Amino acid sequence: MKVLFTYRTLTGNTKKVIEAMYDEIQVEKEIKPWNEIESLEGYNINFIGFPIEAMGPSPQTKEWLAEHVDGKRIALVITHGSPDDTQPLQEWLQKCRDAAVGAEIVGLFHCRGDMSEQLIDGMLQSGNPQFVEWAKQAKEAPRGFPDASALNKARTFAQDTINQLS
Ligand SMILES: Cc1cc2nc3c(=O)[nH]c(=O)nc-3n(C[C@H](O)[C@H](O)[C@H](O)COP(=O)(O)O)c2cc1C
């Protein structure tokens, strides 16, 4: 069993979650940021992490997925600034699945990751009422995500996903 963990991260949250998964599992494994990956060939499963950007996968994320995941067995690992019960979150996650449509998606883990101060300020100034509302909520929300509970769930997800393949 050979497993790859790879990620796109802008502020470190997704990297933290992927690293927790990587540390947990005891098989032959590699961990690399996306820009160091040429191919997902040769792994039994690839854990692919990225953040939600503007209500879905970013154009760069879509492009990377389109280029790399066809025919591969993958688990998606997604972080987002909004709380888990945010109404449109399931739609954003579906867009992520859709962006990896050529792959065999064996699991999807998602958790919250702090929005950067820079992003919150940008949203406040965006003039878009929905973004302003989310930014205000984010300003008042507790910080520290991904928290210990999310990282524990991430470890369990990775282990369970691997166990299902063995
Ligand atoms: C440009 C940009 C757009 C974002 N858009 C959203 C969004 O639409 N919904 C959301 O829940 N979080 C959004 N976020 C927050 C990130 O998804 C969240 O903070 C994530 O954990 C960042 O992961 P990273 O630190 O690995 O980059 C956005 C972040 C950035 C930088």
Written in H, E and C, the secondary structure of 51-85 is: ECCCCCCCHHHHHHHHHHCCCCEEEEEEEECCCCC
Give nearest CA residue, ligand 1 atom 3: 53
Nearest to 64 by CA among 31, 102, 29: 102
Q: pTM of the entire structure?
A: 0.96
CA of 28 to the centre of ligand 1 (A): 31
**What are the residue ranges of helices labelled H in the chain?**
13-24, 59-68, 89-99, 117-124, 129-140, 148-165
Q: Quick one: average pLDDT of 76-100?
A: 96
φ, ψ dihedrals at 129, nearest 5°: -55, -40
Six-digit token string for 159: 């282990």
Integer Cα distance of 96 and 161 in angstroms:
19
Q: Quick one: average pLDDT of 46-72?
A: 97
Kindly indicate the confidence band of residue 29, based on its pLDDT and cuts at 50, 70 and 90: very high
Give the amino acid at 154. A
Say yes or no to pLDDT of 166 above 90. Answer: no
Domains and CATH numbers, the chain: 2-114+147-165 (3.40.50.360)
Say yes or no to pLDDT of 66 above 90. Answer: yes
The binding-site residues of ligand 1, defined as CB within 6 angstroms of any ligand atom, are 9-15, 51-55, 79-82, 113-115, 119
Q: Quick one: average pLDDT of 147-156?
A: 98
Q: Quick one: average pLDDT of 34-47?
A: 96
State residue 136's pLDDT score: 94
| Residue of 14, 47, 48, 52 to test ligand 1 pocket, by largest number of atoms within 8 Å of CB | 52
Does residue 146 have a cis bond before it (omega within 30 degrees)? yes
Integer Cα distance of 88 and 95 in angstroms:
11
Q: What is the pLDDT of residues 93-128, one digit of tens each?
A: 999 999 999 999 999 999 999 999 999 999 999 999
Integer Cα distance of 11 and 116 in angstroms:
7
State residue 113's pLDDT score: 97
Atom of ligand 1 nearest to the CA of 118: 31
Give nearest CA residue, ligand 1 atom 17: 80
Atom of ligand 1 nearest to the CA of 49: 26
Q: Quick one: average pLDDT of 66-79?
A: 98
Atom of ligand 1 nearest to the CA of 79: 21
